[in-house]
């Protein structure tokens, strides 16, 4: 496998214009405070709503979390709980010419076809364009008017947030204000009554642009969209902000945003039993894509709440709490955030006495840290605190410039990773884990053609460190783990530019101590890694979906690697047989 093949598979990660790019963002006012049904919970009648919910779950109301979805029977991990097409989905503005605006598939080899009227949206073919025309015919003229009024080319297309809300209101009008579709959208949580003052400016700006995009000139014209007062308009924006899910490619690359009221019923937990994915199932017609699925990554017992994470759960506790408060306006009370007594691998460092145990990282509030195994105290508290502070600053800077100045970003990650490691942080500790993952992405993006052995091997080592960290903080079968393993497996099968000469016994012994190894042992490691990836993808993207598009790709890689390993083994057998014959002849 050439490295250009791997790079072509990996989409450039574009920053989202509105929502934070995570693979698990969902939508609810609060998180699950309890996981098992109690007497205070009541079953909510759906009144014909949420027909995509299967009979194995039901909607319940709890004092701590409001509405949520609970299991009525056991749900095994890898099971697809909900499978639905979003009510609304749009691509990120910067990716409109890279993905089909109907099925959200990447551009085919023949290229995408552009809408000749608005010249903003692109489609796979006429079938995709026709399937989207019911909605696009309304936004097409809006996009044309917007472009004419834009002061420059950079704002000739409105943000994905404005386009998504435009589609949501337009379809609500088309379906009917009393339709099931409209009632499901209106039933999503709004934080208007408890909106923090910090959100006023952004909501006001969104209101202004949304009204402009819809092309209405008076408040009376908004009535056709179910907006009778300013409060209704604020509700629309609040529901959008609270309930937006990141639309991803099958490899979890953020490509846009989506809204699904049934999925929005799932409450938050930082230790979720479910994930939200867009697997691109093999047997789904393009007209039904993008298919959005809630997949169980843990066994869920009857009476237990179905939960997903709205944010990146590799963050440390205070980072998660702050993000949830700012973005979703609630104080998380999940089991992971409530337990402050145990050792969280997201906030851990190695024992200073090297006993093999770990310590919680010191904090300004609690500078005393001891190894949980041998009780040795961390003496270099100030150095660790400085490393954590500088590391977070470097991570923020590198993330902000990774697309505009990739060399600067790589310089930051290259310099910072050794500092964080030497401070004693474990691979799962924040910000080291985040820095490692970003460094891996930058290494892949900057690998030369043809690749050099040093650069390729550094990328493999970095990917391995990232998987080590992820394995400590994410449940087995989490799609992020599966994707990371798949990426490492594909790196290991890239053709080596300078493989080690293994013709001598000493070279073979040296190769055993190297990581990554060279030659056949490298291929065997790739095979084992891809098998692990395949098993985890079958959980994270659902066994019924065959692990999604990535799972199917890994299966094909395994077939090729298995054939290559078989050829090598056959060659070894023949070589041994030839050697035996020569000895007999001699």
Tell me the β-bridge partners of 71: 57
pLDDT at site 4: 46
Per-residue pLDDT reduced to its tens digit, 211-242: 999 998 888 899 999 999 988 999 999 999 88
Q: How far apart are CA 318 and CA 329, in angstroms?
A: 15
Per-residue pLDDT reduced to its tens digit, 87-106: 999 999 999 999 999 999 99
Given 3-state DSSP classes, what are the helix, strand and coil percentages for the chain, each rounded to the nearest 5? 50, 10, 40
Q: For residue 240, is the peptide bond before it cis, meaning its omega torsion is within 30 degrees of 0?
A: no
Superfamily of domain 3-308: SET domain (2.170.270.10)
Query: For residue 415, what are its two tokens?
Result: 């310099």
CB contact set of 415 (below 8 Å; sequence gap of 6+): 394
Domain boundaries, the chain: 3-308, 476-488+498-586
pLDDT at site 48: 87
Judge if pTM exceeds 0.85.
yes
For the segment 495-506, the average pLDDT, to the nearest whole number, is 93
CB contact set of 332 (below 8 Å; sequence gap of 6+): 31, 268, 270, 320, 321, 324
Burial readout 148-171 (b: 16 or more C-beta within 10 A, e: otherwise): eeeeeeeebbbbbbbbbbbbbbbb
Per-residue pLDDT reduced to its tens digit, 278-297: 999 888 888 899 999 999 99
Confidence of residue 412 (pLDDT cuts 50, 70, 90): very high
Q: Vertex 45, ends 42 and 49: CA angle to 5°?
A: 140
Per-residue pLDDT reduced to its tens digit, 30-54: 454 444 444 457 877 678 899 999 9
């Amino acid at each position: 496998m050439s490295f250009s093949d791997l790079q072509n598979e990996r989409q450039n990660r574009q920053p989202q214009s509105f929502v934070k790019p995570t693979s698990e963002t969902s939508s609810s006012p609060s998180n699950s405070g309890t996981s098992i049904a109690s007497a205070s919970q009541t079953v909510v009648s759906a009144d014909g709503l949420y027909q995509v919910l299967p009979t194995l779950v039901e909607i319940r109301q709890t004092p701590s979390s409001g509405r949520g979805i609970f299991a009525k029977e056991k749900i095994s991990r890898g099971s697809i709980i909900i499978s639905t097409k979003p009510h609304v989905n749009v691509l990120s503005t910067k990716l409109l010419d890279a993905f089909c605006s109907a099925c959200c598939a990447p551009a085919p080899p023949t290229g995408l076809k552009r809408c000749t009227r608005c010249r903003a949206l692109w489609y796979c073919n006429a079938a995709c364009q026709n399937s989207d025309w019911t909605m696009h015919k309304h936004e097409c003229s809006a996009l044309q008017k917007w472009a004419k009024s834009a002061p420059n080319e950079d704002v000739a297309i409105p943000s994905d947030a404005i386009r998504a809300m435009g589609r949501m209101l337009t379809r609500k009008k088309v379906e009917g204000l009393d339709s099931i579709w409209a009632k499901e959208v209106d039933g999503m949580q709004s934080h208007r009554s408890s909106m923090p003052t910090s959100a006023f400016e952004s909501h006001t700006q969104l209101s202004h642009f949304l009204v402009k995009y819809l092309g209405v000139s008076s408040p009376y014209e908004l009535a056709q969209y179910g907006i009778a007062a300013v409060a209704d308009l604020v509700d629309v924006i609040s529901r959008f902000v609270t309930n937006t899910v990141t639309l991803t490619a099958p490899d979890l690359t953020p490509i846009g945003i989506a809204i699904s009221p049934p999925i929005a019923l799932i409450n938050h937990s930082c230790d979720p039993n479910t994930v939200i994915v867009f697997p691109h199932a093999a047997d789904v017609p393009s007209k039904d894509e993008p298919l959005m699925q809630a997949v169980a990554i843990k066994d869920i017992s009857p009476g237990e709440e179905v939960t997903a994470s709205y944010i990146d759960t590799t963050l440390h506790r205070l980072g998660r709490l702050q993000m949830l408060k700012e973005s979703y306006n609630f104080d998380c009370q999940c089991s992971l955030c409530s337990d402050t007594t145990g050792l969280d691998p997201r906030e851990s460092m190695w024992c200073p006495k090297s006993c093999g145990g770990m310590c919680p990282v010191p904090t300004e509030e609690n500078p005393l840290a001891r190894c949980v195994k041998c009780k040795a105290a961390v003496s270099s508290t100030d150095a660790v605190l400085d490393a954590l502070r500088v590391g977070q600053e470097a991570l923020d800077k590198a993330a902000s410039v990774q697309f505009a100045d990739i060399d600067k970003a790589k310089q930051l990650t290259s310099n910072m990773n050794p500092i964080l490691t030497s401070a004693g942080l474990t691979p799962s500790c924040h910000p080291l884990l985040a820095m490692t993952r970003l460094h891996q992405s930058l290494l892949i993006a900057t690998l030369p053609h043809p690749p050099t052995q040093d650069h390729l091997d550094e990328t493999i080592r970095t990917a391995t460190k990232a998987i080590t960290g992820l394995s400590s903080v994410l449940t087995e079968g989490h799609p992020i783990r599966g994707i990371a393993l798949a990426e490492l497996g594909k790196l290991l099968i890239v053709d080596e530019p300078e493989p080690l000469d293994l013709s001598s016994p000493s070279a073979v012994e040296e190769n055993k101590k190297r990581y990554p190894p060279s030659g056949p042992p490298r291929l065997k490691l790739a095979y084992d890694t891809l098998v692990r990836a395949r098993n985890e993808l079958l959980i994270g993207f659902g066994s019924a979906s065959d692990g999604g598009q990535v799972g199917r790709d890994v299966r094909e890689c395994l077939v090729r690697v298995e054939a290559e390993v078989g050829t090598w083994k056959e060659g070894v057998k023949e070589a041994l047989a030839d050697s035996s014959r020569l000895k007999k002849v001699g």
